[in-house]
Amino acid sequence: MKLSRGSTPFLQPLVLVFACWAITGLAAAWTLANLHDLDLVQTFMRREGISTSVFGTAGLVWIGFGLLAYAVGDLAARKTRPATFLSQDALRADRGAQMTFLANLVLLGVTALWIVTSAAKAGGLINLAAAAYADSLTTRDLLLENKLFTGMRLFYAALPATACLAAALLATGSLSRRSSRLMMATLGVNTVALLILPLVMSQRLLLLQLLLSAYFAACLVKGRVFGLHWAGLAALHFAALWVGREAITTPIVQRPAMDIATQKLAFYVVNDMFNAFAPVSVPIHNTNGGLLLEGVMFLTFTDGYFLKLLEPRIAALDPVIGGGEFPFFTAAYVDFGAKGGAIFICLTGFVLRRIYIRGTRHFAWAVIYAQVAAALMFSSHSVYFTHQNFYFSAALIGVIVMLSLKQPIEIPVVEDAPDEAGPVFRTRRDNGAMRPALPPSLLSQLVIFQSQRGAEQPAKTEAPSHASG
């Protein structure tokens, strides 16, 4: 499948990184400047031990240095990219749609079975829903205690990947009507599922990952940014989840749900910037990859050993972290220090730019980069593209696309053919031995078939002349 040659400059990784950190920084600055009017934000900050004293020059310098290191890696990848033509993937779109639909059924089936078994222990789905409204944290613990198997949450977290793949296949415009319906159903069901489930599981980023990656994948396949009204609809969809989640988790606050959700969003922005600034303002011990390599450890079944080994250093970070996780640039600093962190950020910029370049040429890489691009849009909150959920989703996308590729048909080349146009039928006899040529005298006397029309022709021509006479 040949991707469009259109330009998508707004989807480049460097643009997304700068946009994410600029928006987060401006929103945090506005919140801190108007903190006296945001009483709920002050309450949440006191609860998490967040102080405004950490917002100083050191953290600002490190974020600027991180952006510079990322830009260096990104520019290096652009300078070293090979000048090749736009390649073409032999993707059977309808088969890809079928494989995506079947894989999504497995993901939804595992998730549904997980919820049903948890609801059985809670007395039914109605009781589980009532418990989620009364105490969402307890309900979340109940679900986590009833996991079907180790790594089961990877299936739940891979729902954005199949939805992203469905959006990319729809954007190709080469699906049959039946396959288009399957992909629309996949996209719709996953969106609804991730609108409802995070109300209890508090994983709202999965819905954000789905909405962003699906839109980015469609734009990459089309080769242009289009359908901004769909982006606005997705923003309203996520806002509905955000407001609904806050209305459920804070029922004791006697305020409109919109006010609670708005101030909670403002608090999260300040919390993210606190996690970005605080580790740089005080001396800390590096965690040597305990943050950024956790996904690799999980998938290689070595997380138990390494996290236990690094547990004292990770526990010592409690004073310099609020809620959530460290953002991208600060996680690199916490893991490897200033020099090592800058090198890691530079290498990340190089790798992600190369993924983007491949994404403009290959369908599978376009879908994988859409997952990366969505993660970059909230890189000021966490480092999703180093998480095990991302690796599993990327592997799932790769497997589905590989199973959907056309098998090339090999046509044997006849080396001893004298002409370009060979015979229509070829004998099965051995042509290796040379046959003796017949003498010309014998060839001139050789008659294979002899027509009888020559003897009858004079009689047929004389009949009309006799009649006329």
Mean pLDDT by 10 residues, the chain (469 residues): 61 95 94 91 89 90 96 92 51 92 95 82 68 63 73 89 96 92 95 81 83 93 82 79 72 72 90 94 91 92 88 90 91 95 97 93 92 95 93 95 71 46 49 53 51 48 43
| CB neighbourhood size of 299 (10 A) | 15
Q: Reduce the DSSP state of residue 91 to 3 states and report it.
A: strand
The string over 371-399, giving b where at least 16 C-beta atoms fall within 10 Å of a residue's C-beta and e elsewhere, is: bbbbbbbbbbbbbbbbbbbbbbbbebbee
The pLDDT assigned to 6 comes to: 53
The pLDDT assigned to 149 comes to: 75
The pLDDT assigned to 197 comes to: 79
395-400's contacts with Cβ under 8 Å and 24+ in sequence apart are 396/103, 396/158, 396/161, 396/162, 397/161, 397/164, 397/165, 397/364, 397/367, 397/368, 397/371, 398/364, 398/368, 400/96, 400/99, 400/100, 400/103, 400/165
For the chain, helix, strand, coil in percent to 5 are 70, 0, 30
The pLDDT assigned to 73 comes to: 96
What does the angle CA 329 – CA 275 – CA 350 come to, to the nearest 5 degrees? 10
Q: What one-letter code names the amino acid at 299?
A: L
Phi, psi of 289 (to 5 degrees): 90, 5
- Residues 6 or more apart whose CB falls under 8 angstroms from that of 58 comprise 277, 280, 281
The pLDDT assigned to 410 comes to: 44
The pLDDT assigned to 82 comes to: 57
The string over 236-262, giving b where at least 16 C-beta atoms fall within 10 Å of a residue's C-beta and e elsewhere, is: ebbeebbbbbbbbbbeebeeebeebbb
The pLDDT assigned to 469 comes to: 37
CA 186, 187, 191, 194 torsion-angle sign: positive
- Residues 6 or more apart whose CB falls under 8 angstroms from that of 390 comprise 295, 371, 375, 384
Q: Transcribe 317-329 into DSSP letters.
A: TGGG--SS---HH
Give the predicted TM-score (pTM) of the model: 0.80
Six-digit token pair at 433?
């031995």
Phi, psi of 423 (to 5 degrees): -70, 155
End-to-end CA distance of the chain: 77
Helices 39-48 and 257-281, interaxial angle, to 10°? Answer: 40
The pLDDT assigned to 460 comes to: 44
